[in-house]
Amino acid sequence: MRFLKWLDERFEEYILSGLLVVISVVMMLQVIMRYVFNASLSWAEEASRYAFVWSALISIGYTIKEDSILKVTTLLEALPEKPGQLVAAAVNGLVTVFFGYLFYHSIPAVTRVVKTGQVSPALGMPLGLIYFAAAAGFFLAMARGIQKTARDLRVLTGRKEA
């Protein structure tokens, strides 16, 4: 149970921090190789790009969890408290459905790429692993959206403080 709580609270943070470290170390190594040893690494740009893609897609769920996802709050601020909470819950529900739709449709795309057996040119990494970032990111966004919508509904019904 303690592990699940940690996973709920910190999963995306650790993944995103690790990916940021990978990008930083690989790019620093590339700079050193290029300017100190006058030789470049053939795989550095590709590794950084793939780490960036993963971080961009994983960060969607993190921004939903932290309530820092880009949104326009003008309407919510203009409404009285209860109707504003109702609109917020409805919007979060729609966001959840949207990411559920994207998750559902990302699975066949990943499956098609895995079946082709394609690999990346420099790293030789299966491209299915890179495409899986979309499914993982959309799944996390959907899961965090479900959590956020449930929290909003508990606040709306008076079972939890805002």
pLDDT in tens, 80-122: 888 888 888 899 999 999 999 999 999 999 999 999 999 999 9
| pLDDT score for 52 | 97
What is residue 1's three-state secondary structure? coil
Query: pTM, whole model, 2 decimals?
Result: 0.88
Which pair of structure tokens corresponds to residue 147? 């959590």
Four-residue CA torsion sign, 95, 99, 105, 109: positive
In the predicted structure, residue 69 carries a pLDDT above the cut 80: no
Q: What is the DSSP string of 33-60?
A: HHHTSS---SSHHHHHHHHHHHHHHHHH
Q: Minimal CA–CA distance to 144: which of 111, 98, 107?
A: 98
| pLDDT score for 17 | 96
Q: Domain segments of the chain: what residues?
A: 2-156
Looking at residues 118-144, what average pLDDT do you find? Answer: 95
